[in-house]
Amino acid sequence: MINDTLKVFAGNSNPSLTKQICDYLKIPLGDITCKRFSDGEIYLKINENIRGVDVFIVQSTHPPADNLFELLLMIDAAKRASADRVTAVIPYFGYARQDKKDEPRVPISSKLIANLLTTAGADRILTLDLHTDQIQGFFDIPADHLYATPIIVDYLSKANLKDFTIVSPDPGGTKRARGLARRLGGLPLAVIDKRRPRPNEAYIVNVVGEVHGRNTLLVDDIIDTAGTITGAVKALKKNGAQKIYAWCTHPVLSDNAKKKLRESPIEKLFVTNTIPLSWKFNRLKVLSVAPLLGEAIRRIHANESVSSLFIE
């Protein structure tokens, strides 16, 4: 019985997604207590026997930092309870945007987080749409890096994408946008030449590609302050684009991002539930990554290939 050999546990960062994953796998959600002592320290206990069990812990590591620390404690608890294997399922891998030492006296945050997860006792990592692909190489344990592209492809394939151009909001996202354009039947591609003078600030320089008179779909991995995406919308409108849609995997939406998006002329904003979102916005469509992560968990548990899920 899969129930006896596979357990999926949720931290506090995204319990609703974990429940959806368990529903996909047709197993009960693992029983765990994660609360606070009176001074704010995290108290954690796994409330069922997991000796010799294949354990998957689902936890995104968006702020606050307690989400990351909860994950580390859950991994440690599972290892000390003699789990056969512990896989950290991280739908949104936070602290990923400092992935290189590109100026003096800065950390390589994503490498540090990879080291912390390994030291805590994780045997494997399963994550989705890392900010840069190179982060996968920071792990000294197996790391499966999935892409959310099939989710938006499945949704949009039911629509009539007439006169559409796929747009990357910066040169770094060209590979992602090209992959989506290919999977949607070979749609044209455009790229926005963006300059970033400092973190969380961007200004648009030029639009490379034909967007005049066409509908467009902006494609990005993260929307944080929404400066990049709303600046891209303005550039597309200035260059004669018609209806403008946007898609991102991780809706961080910090600072006044929601206000910017609400005031922008975006026709529809597509996001996933890697980060829980309670925002009420009539132009927002949330697509679930539970089937993708659930299938990956099933295949990893069964020692089957997950390579067919690595489609960008």
- The CA angle 87-40-122, to the nearest 5 degrees, is 10
Question: Strands across the sheet with 85-90, in order?
Answer: 6-10, 54-58, 85-90, 124-128, 143-146
Residues catalogued as catalytic = 194
258: number of Cβ within 10 Å = 17
Q: Which of 265, 259, 286 shows the shortest CA–CA distance to 274?
A: 286
Is the C-alpha dihedral spanning 103, 104, 110, 114 positive or negative? positive
Half-sphere exposure at residue 39, Cβ-oriented, CA atoms within 13 angstroms: 1
**Rounded Cα–Cα distance for residues 289 and 20 (Å):** 9
- Residues 6+ away with beta carbon under 8 Å from 16: 273, 276
If one counts every other C-beta atom within 10 angstroms of the C-beta of residue 138, the result is 20
- Select from 96, 46, 52, 53 the least CA-distant residue to 76: 46
H or E element at residue 234: helix 227-238
**Which residues lie closer than 8 Å to 84 by C-beta, 6 or more apart?**
52, 53, 54, 55
